[in-house]
Amino acid sequence: MKLLFAIVLLFAAPCCRAQSKGPEQAIVRFFDGLALLNDTLIRENTTPDFLLLEHGEVWNCDTLLRRIAPLKGRTFKRVNEFKFIRTEQQGNTAWLAYDNKAYITVNNQQRTVHWLESATLKYNQGKWRIALLHSTRLPE
pLDDT tens-digit readout, 30-85: 999 999 999 999 999 999 999 999 988 999 999 999 999 999 989 999 999 999 99
Q: Where are the domains of the chain?
A: 23-138
Strand order in the sheet with 109-124: 57-59, 46-54, 127-138, 109-124, 93-106, 76-90
Maximum separation of any 2 CA atoms in the chain, in Å: 54
- Integer-rounded Cα Rg, in Å, for the chain is 17
Class of domain 23-138: alpha beta
Q: What is the pTM of this model?
A: 0.83
| Helix, strand, coil in percent for the chain, rounding step 5 | 35, 50, 15
